[in-house]
């Protein structure tokens, strides 16, 4: 199964190499140079802590201001609160490789067999000739309710959905579920974030109370549509700046719990890890932060009492989920947005508050484009989460 997934990703990567070659050729013809920064991605998040929905103009402007941190090989957004008409249904965003009509037929047959599909349509988008996006896949959305049979009735709806998403992503050739939560959606692809926003008509069509955004320089993989951020499972999304050298260990641990990493990028493990720890095991974010970015053993041994025992236990029990390497992440799910960096802040993260709005960003300048006046701006300590909750404000 894993070999089949690898071949699918390799085919898609080869296609995107051609896309990137064309992109570079266009830049050269214009007499410019390809823009890239090999040690940085751009992150941005905005949350209205009262739950009021807002448009994406400020978010797109902010992430576009950090264009130098990417090179056009990946951009994307996660938006919460965008499907109030279908808020009780899981919204599947699925991409199909162009030219494989069987992928869509097989996927829709699978969905109809395991879900009640209440509505389906191609996700609205601009024409490629009007925006700076090349060779996009066919992207549809499906609003579904679980139709569990037999022993599957013992599963929770969320676990059932995770199981079926993993099946599609590993068993159906050229089909990828990249968004699967309720009343939220991920929109991503190959291009700069502002290009992706223009392609999916985000500013024109959507309003949400949480927006997260990412501009990508692929760390260890070629840029392709499935490998762009955010990464998602259910309503959990993660955008990530950094490089996780522990990816192999993290991936194998998550596979024991039914999560299959099909996108072959280190960032994917974060989305599945937060779903496992925070949804399934119901651990609070302060504990999850200690799992992802714990103190070194030397410091733990110098501690006393319950704190030392807690950290020793976490490092032993959850050693395979230690995220080894530099990282800054923004995690979101319904009702909450979280920012976290590694212990020594090898990747930047800045937080700002204006009224009921919390902003998280790789750069303060981007926040000040979205909100010219701030009540508070600060640099979070390494390994300590910034947490905003609906109706509760910033709680950590």
Percent of the chain with pLDDT over 70: 89
Taking only the tens place, the pLDDT of each residue in 288-303 is: 999 999 999 999 999 9
Q: In the chain, helix, strand, coil percent, each to 5?
A: 40, 25, 35
With beta carbons less than 8 A apart as the criterion, state whether 237 and 231 touch.
yes
Q: What is the pTM of this model?
A: 0.89
Q: Of the listed 39, 41, 128, 261, which one is catalytic?
A: 41
Q: Taking phi first (over 0 means left), then psi (-120 to 50 degrees means alpha), and beta for anything else, what does residue 183 get?
A: left
Give the mean pLDDT of 106-110: 98
Output the pLDDT for position 347: 94
41 is catalytic: yes
Q: Does the pLDDT of residue 135 top 80, yes or no?
A: yes
Read off φ and ψ for residue 233, nearest 5 degrees.
Answer: -150, 130
**CATH number of the domain within which 287 lies:** 3.60.20.10
Closest CA relative to residue 362, chosen from 345, 384, 343: 345
Q: Does the pLDDT of residue 39 top 60, yes or no?
A: no
Output the pLDDT for position 55: 98
- Domain residue limits at 222: 2-394
Output the pLDDT for position 71: 85
How far is 151 from 269, CA to CA, in rounded Å? 28
Band of pLDDT at residue 26, cut at 50, 70 and 90: very low
Number of domains comprising the chain: 1
The mean of the pLDDT values for the chain is 90
Q: For 113-251, list the strands marked E by DSSP.
A: 115-122, 138-146, 175-179, 184-189, 210-215, 231-233, 236-242
Q: Does the pLDDT of residue 25 top 50, yes or no?
A: no
Taking only the tens place, the pLDDT of each residue in 205-262 is: 999 999 999 998 666 667 789 889 999 999 999 999 998 899 999 999 999 999 999 8
Our CA angle for 139, 9, 292, nearest 5°, is 95
Q: For the chain, list the strands marked E by DSSP.
A: 42-48, 75-80, 90-96, 115-122, 138-146, 175-179, 184-189, 210-215, 231-233, 236-242, 327-333, 336-341, 350-354, 357-361, 376-378, 386-389, 393-394
């Amino acid at each position: 199964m894993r070999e089949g997934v690898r071949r699918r990703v390799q085919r898609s990567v080869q296609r995107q190499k051609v896309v990137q070659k064309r992109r570079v050729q266009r830049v050269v013809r214009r007499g410019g140079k390809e823009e890239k920064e090999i040690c940085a991605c751009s992150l941005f998040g905005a949350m209205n802590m009262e739950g009021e929905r807002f448009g994406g103009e400020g978010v797109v402007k902010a992430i576009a201001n950090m264009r130098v941190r990417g090179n056009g090989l990946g951009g994307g957004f996660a938006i919460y609160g965008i499907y109030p008409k279908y808020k009780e249904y899981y919204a599947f965003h699925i991409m199909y490789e162009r030219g494989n009509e069987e992928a869509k037929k097989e996927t829709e047959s699978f969905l109809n067999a395991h879900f009640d599909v209440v509505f389906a349509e191609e996700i609205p988008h601009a024409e490629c000739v009007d925006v700076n996006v090349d060779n996009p896949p066919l992207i549809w959305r499906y609003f579904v309710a679980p139709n569990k049979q037999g022993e599957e009735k013992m599963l929770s709806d969320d676990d059932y959905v995770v199981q079926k998403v993993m099946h599609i992503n590993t068993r159906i050739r050229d089909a990828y579920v990249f968004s699967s939560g309720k009343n939220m959606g991920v929109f991503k692809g190959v291009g700069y974030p502002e290009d992706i926003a223009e392609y999916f008509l985000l500013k024109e069509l959507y309003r949400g109370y949480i927006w997260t955004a990412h501009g990508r320089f692929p760390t260890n993989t070629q840029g392709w549509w499935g490998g762009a951020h955010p990464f998602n499972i259910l309503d959990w999304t993660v955008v990530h700046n950094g490089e996780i050298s522990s990816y192999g260990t993290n991936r194998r641990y998550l596979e024991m719990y039914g999560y299959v990493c099909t996108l072959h990028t280190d960032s994917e493990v974060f989305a599945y890890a937060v779903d496992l720890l925070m949804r399934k095991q119901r651990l609070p974010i302060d504990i999850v932060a200690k799992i992802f970015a714990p103190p070194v053993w030397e410091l733990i041994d110098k501690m006393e009492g319950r704190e030392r025992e807690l950290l020793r236990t976490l490092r032993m029990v959850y050693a395979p989920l230690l995220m080894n390497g530099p990282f800054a992440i923004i995690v979101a799910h319904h009702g909450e947005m979280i920012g976290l960096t590694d212990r020594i802040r090898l990747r930047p993260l800045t937080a700002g508050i204006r009224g009921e709005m919390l902003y998280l960003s790789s750069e303060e300048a981007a926040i000040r484009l979205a909100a010219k006046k701030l009540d508070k701006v600060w640099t979070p300590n390494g390994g300590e989460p910034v947490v905003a909750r609906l109706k509760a404000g910033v709680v950590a």
